[in-house]
Amino acid sequence: MRRISAKVKIISIILLVVSIIAIITTYIVNDNIREFVDTKILKKEISDDSVKNIYTNSSVIKTMSLAKNVVTLSSGELKVYDFEGNAKNTIKMKIGNPIYDIEDRYLGIADKNVTKIYLIEDDKLLWEKTLDVTVEKIEVNRNGYMAVVTKDSVYKSVVLVYSNKGELLLKSYVSNGYVIDTEISPDNKYLVIGEVDYSKTYIESTVKVIDIKKAMKSEENSVVNTFVKDKLLINLKIKENLSIIAQYSDSVVNIGYNNNENKEIYKLSNVYIVDIENTRYSLVIKKEEQDDIIKLKNTYVCIIFNESGNEVAKYNIGDTTPKNVLAKLDSIAINLGTELVVINQNGWIKKKYNSTKEISRYDISSYIITIWYNDKIDIVGL
């Protein structure tokens, strides 16, 4: 009798393990079941009447998600709130036309065509500086190192690089083209400058990779790679594995740190939206035609690919046309009008937010989504 009881226990355990494996496998491989489990069982779907919010007025000109904080900017000050909507700090700054960049806990911000720059970490002002030239663009990396593109009376642009302590590390002079984008690598070793020259009979884009340590001593011989292409450069991103990804008008290219590493990884044909800003991967949204017996039906799919151009994940959006996409750190937010879907780098849902109003202004960090309406900011935890 004891032997039979022991066998029953063993069989029960085996059946339980097999059932768990089957459930997990089904969750992983079946998109529809996974979405049902995520939204209905794991409660990843939320509506605008059940979230924390901050009430605002017309004086607010910008809102941002900064780590676990919500940041609002008005004409005379920058306010920081926690993810519950409680005020944490107020920083005095006069900015009317903000240009800024956020990476993880750091916010670099300035007033376009004015001389003042600021670096914020979480809810504190780390440093501020007044330059003798006006600011055009700002870029920060995850360590708070900042690249500032400035106007110059002699050169078209000068790129300044500051440490997270506010130390000026180098100046790089751009003579011919207009600076489209800059990036500082996550290890603080490289500055990448993308510029476009419109003075020729054709568009010429140049991406330069600069060794920061060498450039601190002398700009001469500090350029470790130069990549020239007769296509329009749109965007640059250095991934967490240090791959340098460049988005052009017709393709996505892995630039590399050496001249022989340049590789086109994705041809942008029949692409509705492209974004390379995710920490690890890049993405495209494509329209696909499906025959639903009665007529051809357009559906949209988000394809996530790595630095080699290989597809690593896919998310089926459905037949609603995406308004726009925002990719930051490990999250991808897809705006479907009155619905905001946030997925991770595996194409799995992190959060689905439903609104009674049209969603037009929103931001995302690793921890929260902020949705900005005329009279309030909704805060959704991830």
Confidence band (pLDDT; 50, 70, 90) for 288?
Answer: confident
Average pLDDT value for residue range 67-78? 93
**pTM for this entry:** 0.87
pLDDT surpassing 70 at residue 345: yes
Confidence band (pLDDT; 50, 70, 90) for 76?
Answer: confident
pLDDT surpassing 80 at residue 16: no
Average pLDDT value for residue range 325-340? 94
Set out the domains of the chain in order of their start, with CATH numbers: 93-268 (2.130.10.10)
Residue 143's pLDDT is what? 97
Token pair 């151009």: residue: 309
pLDDT surpassing 80 at residue 259: no
What is the residue-wise DSSP string for 259-310?
Answer: GGG-EEEEE-SSEEEEE--SSS-EEEEEEEEEE-SSSEEEEEEEEEE-TTS-
Lowest mean pLDDT segment, chosen from 123-132, 255-264, 331-340: 255-264
Confidence band (pLDDT; 50, 70, 90) for 378?
Answer: very high
* Spatial distance between the Cα atoms of 304 and 276, rounded to a whole number of angstroms: 10
Question: Which candidate, 146, 94, 144, 149, places its Cα nearest to that of 124?
Answer: 144
Sheet holding 311-318, edge to edge: 271-275, 282-291, 296-305, 311-318
Angle 107-117-88 (CA atoms, 0-180°, nearest 5)? 45
Highest mean pLDDT among 15-24, 44-53, 127-136: 127-136
Average pLDDT value for residue range 258-278? 87
Residue 257's pLDDT is what? 79
CB atoms within 10 A of CB 93: 19
Confidence band (pLDDT; 50, 70, 90) for 209?
Answer: very high
CA 153 to chain centroid: 33
Comparing 236 with 22, which gets the higher pLDDT?
A: 236
pLDDT surpassing 90 at residue 38: no
* Spatial distance between the Cα atoms of 223 and 257, rounded to a whole number of angstroms: 10
Label residues 23-43 b or e (16+ Cβ within 10 Å = b).
eeeeeeeeeeebbebbbeeee
Residues constituting the chain: 382
* Spatial distance between the Cα atoms of 347 and 112, rounded to a whole number of angstroms: 36
The DSSP 8-state label assigned to residue 256 in this structure reads -
H or E stretch covering 31: helix 31-36
Average pLDDT value for residue range 159-185? 94
Lowest mean pLDDT segment, chosen from 79-83, 117-121, 174-178: 174-178
pLDDT surpassing 60 at residue 293: no
**Mean pLDDT estimate for the chain:** 89
* Spatial distance between the Cα atoms of 182 and 160, rounded to a whole number of angstroms: 10
Query: Long-range contacts for 97-100 (Cβ within 8 Å, ≥24 apart)?
Result: 98/61, 98/62, 98/73, 99/135, 99/136, 99/137, 99/138, 100/62, 100/64, 100/138
Question: Which candidate, 327, 301, 333, places its Cα nearest to that of 314?
Answer: 301
